[in-house]
Structure 1
Amino acid sequence: MLPADQVDQLPFWERSLADKVVWVTGAGRGLGRAIAAAVGRSGARLAVTARSAEQLATLGAELSDYPGEVRPFTADVSDAAAVREVAERIAEEWGTLDVLVNMAGISPTVVRSENLSDAAWHDVIDVNLSGTFYCCREAGRLMIANGGGSIVNVSSVHGSVGVPRMCAYAASKGGVEMLTKALAVEWADRGVRVNCLAPGYFRTAMTEPYLASSQGAKVRAAIPLGRVGETEELVGAALFLASDASSYVTGTTLLVDGGWTAQ
């Protein structure tokens, strides 16, 4: 367990999650894993989902020294029935849900649009957009029944800036941003806030090979801050939107991109 004096030293937005029920999807690796770890550090009651049971087991071991309970659920967010089952198990375990952080997603298929297959299109849309909706729907039902909550979706800089050979990914992330706005307006009077993160380029195990390439060097050169983001720099933004620190914020997309879209 994390000593009480260390909990007291956590930032306000982390401490405000203590004892809340938080569901983080896509928690098996990368940015989702880092956010799940930060939530666990706060003392929240944490449900984590990913497609890999092995990744969840490793994450659970890492979180064992932190306060709060952790429950892993293996699920594919593109499967509506599986998502509903996770929500039902969260309700059975804790009776409520306070926060959903929708980190599950897949990377773009980089191919000219006239050559994009039906299967590749659906793979991206089914996970990134439909999966986000399924999780929002189930979380929303629990939050509305219990008087409110906070949902954080994840888009991308490519949800608002057109780039070649990534039409499915751009469409999925643009859709997430509009889904966020629609749900924020619809559920505001039920006490549910819905916001969106739009990350730029971050250093993860998945992006490292690309960032090390010549194309990656061009990307870094185009970022006004002169570098790609580090994982912890997205964590703070996510926890801000998830926590009471953003209690008057809903329907917004927060760009975390080193100034890339400001040009």
Structure 2
Amino acid sequence: MSGRTVVVTGGTRGVGAGIARAFVEAGADVVVCARRPAENPVEGCRFVPLDLRDRPAVAEFFAALPRLDVLVNNAGGTPHRLLTDVDAERHARVVELNLLVPLTATLAAHEHLARARGSVVMIGSVSGGRPSPGSAAYGAAKAGLESLARSMAVEWAPDVRVNTLVVGMVRTESSHLHYGGAEGIAAVSRTVPLGRLAEPSDVGSAAVFLASDAARYVSGASLLVHGGGERPAFLDAATARKED
């Protein structure tokens, strides 16, 4: 990735920081943007403060870049909220952050990317392909993001490649908020076929692959980064046993 410029949205912590670090290690010039700077910045990255929901500011940010080869739409997330616990406006904000923000950023970056024959990596989620109680709006937005990426890949070919990383559970500094302490994280890890949660570096490596020349014929694809997925619940619930 030497000589290429990469923008990672929300690249200041967690998965985003892991992605930024992977591109730095691959030799890219990396710009991360978020509302607030990182407490522990990734060495080698340039930080630009940006509210990604501010569309004029997003357009101005991308217009000011001298070049852009790769855009990683990582900014997103949601708190745990059952559908009836909050009003529709709160859910709409989740959809905005996880679907409309990537759309806005990618449209603003399109001219740069087409000129460079670059690529877009959307950070999706397994929540977009299965029921997501407590994060239904997030799951719906991630499903839409994957669909958006496939359409972009067709509309913008052959100048820009667009792919999605469908990410499972990742161990970050916030994991305890979702799974509990060390015991909770260990218990959740045992539900993953590979026996552990992903590290941010695992997602970063996959993002670098999709953006690199090694994936030059990959576009409109969804790459699962989930450690083998989830063990079907019925296997543990079933009472039948195989005969000896």
* Class of the TM-score when normalised by the shorter of the 2 chains: 0.7 to 0.9
In structure 2, how many angstroms separate the alpha carbons of the residues matched to 1:74 and 1:43? 23
2:12 matched residue in structure 1: 28
1:167 maps onto 2:136 in alignment? yes
2:236 matched residue in structure 1: none
SS in 2 for 1:59: coil
Match of 1:238 among 207, 224, 230: 207
- The TM-score normalised by the length of structure 1 is 0.81
2:48 matched residue in structure 1: 73
Shift in CA distance, 261/193, structure 1 to aligned 2, threshold 3 Å: farther
1:249 matched residue in structure 2: 218
Shift in Å, 1:188: 0.9
Shift in Å, 1:238: 0.8
In structure 1, how many angstroms separate the alpha carbons of the residues matched to 2:178 and 2:134? 16
In structure 2, how many angstroms separate the alpha carbons of the residues matched to 1:37 and 1:211? 25
Shift in Å, 1:74: 0.6
SS in 2 for 1:24: strand
- The TM-score normalised by the length of structure 2 is 0.87
1:121 matched residue in structure 2: 91
Shift in Å, 1:217: 5.2
List aligned pairs for 1:201-212, cutoff 5 A. Answer: 201-212=169-180
Shift in CA distance, 19/173, structure 1 to aligned 2, threshold 3 Å: same
In structure 1, how many angstroms separate the alpha carbons of the residues matched to 2:28 and 2:185? 37
SS in 2 for 1:233: helix
Stretches of structure 2 that go unaligned for 5 or more consecutive residues are: 233-244
2:237 matched residue in structure 1: none
- Kept in 1: contact 2:17–2:200 (CA 8 A): no
Runs of 4+ more than 6 Å apart: none
In structure 2, how many angstroms separate the alpha carbons of the residues matched to 1:261 and 1:129? 25
Instruction: Report the AA paired with residue 37 of structure 1.
Output: R
* Identity value in percent: 36
Shift in Å, 1:148: 1.7
Aligned length: 231
Instruction: Report the AA paired with residue 59 of structure 1.
Output: P
- Kept in 2: contact 1:26–1:49 (CA 8 A): yes
- Which is helix-richer, 1 or 2? 1
In structure 2, how many angstroms separate the alpha carbons of the residues matched to 1:118 and 1:175? 18
SS in 2 for 1:260: coil
Instruction: Report the AA paired with residue 193 of structure 2.
Output: P
- Kept in 2: contact 1:211–1:217 (CA 8 A): no
1:130 maps onto 2:114 in alignment? no
List aligned pairs for 1:126-205, cutoff 5 A. Answer: 126-144=96-114, 146-189=115-158, 191-205=159-173
- Kept in 1: contact 2:193–2:230 (CA 8 A): no
SS in 1 for 2:11: coil
